[in-house]
């Protein structure tokens, strides 16, 4: 059952969707600020696809990905959130959806995109859950099927946001960064070590990823989220 906690955030599957439950809250306004920063981070080209990742697990990337997808959809864009964490997927918990069919079924050509996507309660937002966990996530994400899927998505959605596994754990985020327009790196002020942050940045840049900026969360100060454009 969904319930509000002391910070007035909306809990679904232990994930906070405050942008959906409290669109006028200060924290939701911070997500809108991040949205604006992303949109202005690449003024020379049309930004259509973004990967959200983090150096390590438990740094808040999935919660931030979900809320960013919501605020983009609230802007009137047709948004698709893809759970591309094919090792520890969470989007189906976050949005309380079935996960028997999803991304992996499309990439193995078992179903079509139309049959796999699910409508979220937020208007203009669709979710593509991970589907069954495969034995070869990196190979699937870097496959020809993935490239074909992205081409199809561009014709049907205005913006696609990927929830990717952590950079230092596996190569999946690096693979996806080659297929998309940019990467947003999430770090936790409580958990992320400086060396881990530097290493994650180096790994992404080594494959030519365009790092749009960094979201720092879990701050104890009054403002819970900050966005820094890449220097």
- Please report whether residue 150 resides in a domain: yes
Return d(Cα 116, Cα 131) in angstroms, integer: 9
Residue 3 has a pLDDT of: 34
Other CB atoms closer than 10 Å to residue 197's CB: what's the count? Answer: 20
Domain housing 192: 25-229
- Please report whether residue 77 resides in a domain: yes
Number of structural domains in the chain: 1
Is the model's pLDDT at 64 over the cut of 70? yes
Read off the pLDDT of residues 25-50 as tens digits, 9 standing for 90 and up: 888 999 999 999 999 887 777 899 99
- Please report whether residue 125 resides in a domain: yes
CATH number of residue 51's parent domain: 3.40.50.300
- Please report whether residue 4 resides in a domain: no
Asked if residues 88 and 129 have their Cβ atoms less than 8 Å apart, the reply is no
Average model confidence (pLDDT) for the chain?
88
- What strands, in cross-sheet order, belong to the sheet with 79-83? 118-119, 125-128, 79-83, 159-163, 49-53, 182-188, 211-217, 226-229
Percent of the chain at pLDDT exceeding 90: 77
- Please report whether residue 14 resides in a domain: no
Read off the pLDDT of residues 120-178 as tens digits, 9 standing for 90 and up: 999 999 999 999 999 999 999 999 999 999 999 999 999 999 999 999 999 999 999 99
Residue 221 has a pLDDT of: 54
- Please report whether residue 17 resides in a domain: no
């Amino acid at each position: 059952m969904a319930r509000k906690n002391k910070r007035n955030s909306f809990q679904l599957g232990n994930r906070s969707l405050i942008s959906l439950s409290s669109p006028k809250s200060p924290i939701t306004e911070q997500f809108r600020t991040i949205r604006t920063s992303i949109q202005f981070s690449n003024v020379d080209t049309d930004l259509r696809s973004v990967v959200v990742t983090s150096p390590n697990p438990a740094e808040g990337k999935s919660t931030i990905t979900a809320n960013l997808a919501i605020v983009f959809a609230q802007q009137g864009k047709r948004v698709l959130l893809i759970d591309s964490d094919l090792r520890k997927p969470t989007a189906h918990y976050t949005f309380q959806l079935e996960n028997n069919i999803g991304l992996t079924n499309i990439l193995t050509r078992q179903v079509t995109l139309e049959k796999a996507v699910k409508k979220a309660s937020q208007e203009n937002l669709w979710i593509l859950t991970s589907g069954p966990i495969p034995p070869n996530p990196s190979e699937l994400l870097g496959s020809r099927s993935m490239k074909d899927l992205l081409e199809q998505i561009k014709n049907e959605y205005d913006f696609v946001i990927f929830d990717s596994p952590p950079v230092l754990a596996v190569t999946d985020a690096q693979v996806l960064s080659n297929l998309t327009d940019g990467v947003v790196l999430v770090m936790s002020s409580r958990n992320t070590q400086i060396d881990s942050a530097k290493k994650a940045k180096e790994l992404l840049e080594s494959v030519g990823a365009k790092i749009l900026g960094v979201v720092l969360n879990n701050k104890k100060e009054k403002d819970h989220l900050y966005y820094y454009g890449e220097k």
